[in-house]
Structure formats: C-alpha cells, structure tokens
Amino acid sequence: MANIIDGKKIATDIKDEAKASAEALKAKGVEPCLAVVLVGDDPASAVYVRNKKKACEYCGIKSLSYELPASTSESELLTLIDELNANKEVNGILVQLPLPKTIDENKVLLRILPEKDVDGFHPYNVGLLSIGKAVLKSCTPAGCIELIKRSGVDIEGKNCVVIGRSNIVGKPVGMLLLAENGTVTTCHSRTKNLKEICAEADILVAAIGKPGFVTGDMVKEGAVVIDVGINRGADGKLCGDVDFASASEKAGYITPVPGGVGPMTIAMLMKNCIKACEAQNSEALNA
Ligand code: GUN
C-alpha cells in the first residue's frame, strides 16, 4: 500500500511559511496585499474566491475584493486592472476564471503587470518558467512539485511522465519537472502506447480531466503518482484522474482526491503573493 501524500498538511505548512514571511514584511513596514477580482455569479468561482480571501486572512495578507456584475464590459474590467496595476499598495492581482463570454480572457490576463501576476498565467511568466527563471510560477503546477519534494522524493534523473498538455497544468508541470532535472515525457490524447509509457514512470502526473483514467496496470511498482484531476463521479462524489484503489496498490506515494493537489493551489498563491510583495519592495527591504 502506498504512502498517501497529505496535501492538506503540506498546504498548511506552506501557508504557515507565508504567514511568517508576511509578519516579517509587516515588521519592516510593508504589508502584502492581493486584489481578488470576480466577475459574474458562477457559484464555483464564488467558492474559490471566498477560499482565497480566507487564506489571505490566515496568512496575514491584506485582500481587496472586487465583485463585479456579469454585465461588466471588457473595457470596464481593463480599466480596473489598470488601476490595480498602478496602485503601489497592491502586490498581486487575481482575476478569477472563467470570465463571462463577453470578455476576452486572454486580453485581460495580458493586461495584468507580470510582476503582479500571482496566478503565473501571463505569457511573460510562462516564458520565464520555460527558461527556468520564474519568480511567479503558476500555482497548481508548482504545488505538484512541492508535494513531490516535501515527500522526500528527489526528482533529478527520474523518469517523469505527465498525462495532459494543457497550458495551465500539463505543459508547466513538464517544464518544472525538467527544471528539477527530471527526464520528462508528455502524453496526450494522440499518444501511442500511453499505457506502456506510463508504466515506465518513476513520477506520474495525471492532468487529463477524465475520472479514473490511470489504473493500477499503468503504474510502476513504487512510483510517485500525482493526481491533478477534480471530477464529479457518477455518484456525484469528487474523484481524480487516477483510480485510487488500484493505483495505490502499486504506487510508493500517491495523492488522494480530495486532499492532495487541490489545497496546494491556494497555498502556492499565498507564496506567490509574498514573493511578488518582496520583489516589488526589494529596495526598501534591503535598505
Ligand atoms: N479558476 C479555476 N482555477 C483558477 C486559478 O487557479 N486561478 C484563477 N485566476 N482562476 C481559476
């Protein structure tokens, strides 16, 4: 039976580190601050935003909340972003996705100053990630790496297989594993021999969005299995991309769903808020 990686515990450790950093910053007269922007009334987004504000409170990071109606125009939202970009007190800007269809998401993400892009979605930050120089790494992928490292697993030289090639998880996870000197293969819907490739992985990251896609026969004995999937099963319960029952028979380490990767996204967001604040105040802090 595999060791179960406790994402909730690791996320709490990271939030506690962010809290200590926030206290240190405040002792030097700098208050970290995140602006959270929610447009429309998507109930899932409202829950995410509430949890992000709660995490800020826990960590001692000031949060400013902008809850705008679904009728908000693209230019109104861009004007708000410009104001937040110009506001020296705001270190991070988070625009909750998805946005209403009337607004071009890409245009909005491009408008956020890269140094305030705590989601790590701006192409500039994605570029830095790809050359191994990112300060603000996108939260879910960076959370996967933390789960592996804090379980005491060294990524260097390992055979890493990522299933899924999305811009928000699959691709950046692959780049981060590469930066840790892993040997990385990215699989996707057109990959031939996917099962065989997965079965060779020392570290297997599943980010496909298909419930129970990874079964025990695809897992190498002793492998680390990171499940990024958040799906609703036929029974209405939350489940991952990995069939936990069979995969955990083979894996050495495995993340559960819920309680694995999920809590890490917000924890890494808090870490990014601190990093953004430190970078924006480096002169004052080093004086
Ligand atoms: N919607 C779902 N996940 C995320 C996320 O990580 N960041 C933002 N901004 N929106 C999301």
* Average pLDDT, integer, range 164-169: 96
* CA–CA distance, 166 with 152 (Å, rounded to integer): 27
Task: Extract the tokens encoding 134.
Answer: 């990112």
Question: What 3-state class would DSSP assign to 154?
Answer: coil
- Give the H/E segment covering residue 52: helix 43-59
How far is the CA of 22 from the CAs of 16, 58, 180, 265, 279, in angstroms? 10, 11, 27, 18, 13
Which one-letter amino acid corresponds to residue 254?
Answer: I
Question: What 3-state class would DSSP assign to 233?
Answer: coil
For residue 238, the cross-strand partners are: 232
118 and 280 Cβ atoms separated by less than 8 Å = no
What one-character DSSP code corresponds to residue 100? P
What does the pLDDT read at residue 98?
A: 96
Which residue carries 């506001």 as its tokens?
Answer: 87
Going by DSSP bridges, is the β-strand pair 92-95/33-39 parallel, antiparallel, or unpaired? Answer: parallel
- pLDDT tens profile 53-83: 999 999 999 999 999 999 999 999 999 999 9
By annotation, the residues acting in catalysis are 52, 96, 119
Return the best residue to mutate from 47, 48, 121, 126 for the ligand 1 pocket (most ligand atoms within 8 A of CB). Answer: 48
Confidence tier at 166 by pLDDT (50, 70, 90): very high
What does the pLDDT read at residue 90?
A: 98
Q: Which of 230, 261, 229, 265 is nearest to 55 (CA)?
A: 265
Confidence tier at 47 by pLDDT (50, 70, 90): very high
Confidence tier at 267 by pLDDT (50, 70, 90): very high
How far is the CA of 281 from the CAs of 87, 107, 266, 275, in angstroms? 13, 27, 23, 10
In the chain, what is the straight-line distance between the N-terminal and C-terminal CA atoms, in Å?
53
Å from CA of 5 to ligand 1 middle: 23
Confidence tier at 176 by pLDDT (50, 70, 90): very high
Residue nearest to atom 1 of ligand 1 (CA): 97
Structural domains of the chain ordered from first start: 28-118 (3.40.50.10860), 139-263 (3.40.50.720)
- pLDDT tens profile 217-253: 999 999 999 999 999 988 889 999 999 999 999 999 9
Confidence tier at 1 by pLDDT (50, 70, 90): confident
pTM for the full predicted model: 0.97
Which residue carries 């079964």 as its tokens?
Answer: 215
Return the best residue to mutate from 65, 96, 109 for the ligand 1 pocket (most ligand atoms within 8 A of CB). Answer: 96
User: Which residues have any ligand 1 atom within 6 Å of their CB?
Assistant: 94-97, 119, 139, 265
b (16+ CB within 10 A) / e for 156-172: eebbbbbbbbeebbbbb
- pLDDT tens profile 197-222: 999 999 999 999 999 999 999 999 99
Question: What 3-state class would DSSP assign to 228?
Answer: coil
